[in-house]
A = this chain, B = another copy of it.
Amino acid sequence: MRRRLVKENRPKVILYGLGPIGISTGKILAQRQSIEIVSAIEIADDKAGKDLGELLGIKAARGITVSKTLGEAKNYGIADVVVHTTSSFVETVFPQLEEIISGGMNCVSSTEELFFPILKAPDATRKIDELAKKYGVTVVGTGVNPGFVMDTLPLFLTGVCERVDEVHIQRRVDASKRRLPLQKKVGATLDADEFYKRVETGTLGHIGLRESLQYLAVNLGWNLDDIEEQVDPVISEKDITTEYFHVKKGQVAGIKHIARGFTNGKAVLSLDLRMYVGAEKSFDRITIGGNPSLEIEVKQGTPGDIATASILANSVSLAMHADPGLINTKYPMWPHCEKL
């Protein structure tokens, strides 16, 4: 099917999901004059039926009543792009994506697993990609991490390398400057036992680290023998007081989540993410071993909250311009080093 042309220069956007990320992204989009938000979807009772402008705190978005489902939404199927922020997992979002794509709408999603789902969910990935091609729409899974710091940015940097032997990425986030939910999310104030229990039940840990690692390996043309993933607490070495609470010496200050990819027993890829209260500073550091070797630092790091909402908002144009299909199942459209 041919891509539907946008009849005017103002892409029509539907917000699907009004959790913290959906709200932040909505705020950015509502302030972009060349984009028009035409509908919003949120199943939660405290938001459905409300006025979007009030939820976003932005006048320009007034007059749009939040619907419970996409099917009920005004402009269903007339919109150009759905900005989708409901869940981290491909399995959960699959029926939602089916509905969006079959409605003939492009989709930008914050679903972490959707950034590079081919290895974890090959069947769903192929179905999404085929369906998107059938309806002539583009599906973009993105965010700051996965989507930027530990995958696309390092791969972009390899564009100037003749040869890449290893890639190591460190991300340090001083959680004490972040919002309360993030401080809770990293497990601050827990004891170590409780921390590990929550890791086992899947309520602690960063989603998408494995996807970032696999995206790098596949696009560098590397066959990994093994992947190791490890989540541990960072134990506070002193008493720390944040805006919200106290972390005592010996309690959990936050999380250390590391993924490594091995070839011939050597960790050729490592993604080392630490988010905890009391981190001396935030930074992102990408080290590429090869020819040339490169070391890149993002001073102060890439601020997670605003960066995620921004890259989702900035992907609306990408979803309108890129070829139909699921975006990271295709060759990235910029030069990068690959083993050839």
A302–B298 CB distance below 8 A = no
B296–A340 CB distance below 8 A = no
A295–B300 CB distance below 8 A = yes
Report the bound CA distance from A308 to B335 in whole Å.
12
B306–A335 CB distance below 8 A = no
Contact with B along A135-149 (1 / 0, CB 8 A): 000001010100010
Report the bound CA distance from A289 to B338 in whole Å.
33
B333–A321 CB distance below 8 A = yes
Neighbouring B residues of A333 by C-beta, 8 Å: 318, 321-322, 332-334
B294–A314 CB distance below 8 A = no
A28 on interface, CB distance cutoff 8 Å: yes
A32 on interface, CB distance cutoff 8 Å: yes
Number of A interface residues in the complex (CB < 8 A): 53
Neighbouring B residues of A158 by C-beta, 8 Å: 314
B299–A297 CB distance below 8 A = yes
A203 on interface, CB distance cutoff 8 Å: no
A35–B160 CB distance below 8 A = no
Residue of B nearest to A308 (CB): B160
Residue of B nearest to A334 (CB): B334
B323–A323 CB distance below 8 A = yes
Residue of B nearest to A292 (CB): B303
A153 on interface, CB distance cutoff 8 Å: yes
CB distance from A121 to the nearest CB of B (A): 23
Given contacts A142-B335, A333-B334, A334-B318, contact A302 B160 (CB under 8 A): yes
Residue of B nearest to A299 (CB): B295
Given contacts A306-B291, A334-B318, contact A340 B35 (CB under 8 A): yes
Neighbouring B residues of A315 by C-beta, 8 Å: 335
Report the bound CA distance from A62 to B256 in whole Å.
52
Report the bound CA distance from A149 to B206 in whole Å.
31
Contact with B along A26-63 (1 / 0, CB 8 A): 00100011110000000000000000000000000000
Neighbouring B residues of A334 by C-beta, 8 Å: 152, 156, 318, 332-334
A302–B294 CB distance below 8 A = yes
Report the bound CA distance from A151 to B306 in whole Å.
23
B296–A162 CB distance below 8 A = no
A310 on interface, CB distance cutoff 8 Å: yes
Of the listed residues A292, A295, A309, the one surrounded by the most CB atoms of chain B closer than 10 A to its CB is A292
Would you give 28 A-B contacts (Cβ < 8 Å), ordered by A?
Answer: A32-B340, A33-B340, A144-B160, A148-B159, A153-B156, A156-B334, A158-B314, A159-B311, A160-B306, A160-B307, A160-B308, A160-B310, A160-B311, A160-B314, A161-B307, A292-B303, A292-B307, A294-B299, A295-B299, A295-B300, A297-B299, A314-B336, A315-B335, A317-B331, A317-B338, A318-B335, A323-B323, A332-B333
Given contacts A159-B311, A292-B306, 6 further A-B contacts (CB under 8 A): A32-B340, A34-B340, A152-B334, A161-B314, A294-B299, A333-B333
Residues of A at the B interface (CB closer than 8 Å) are 28, 32-35, 140, 142, 144, 148, 152-153, 156-162, 291-292, 294-300, 302-303, 306-311, 313-315, 317-318, 321-323, 330-338, 340
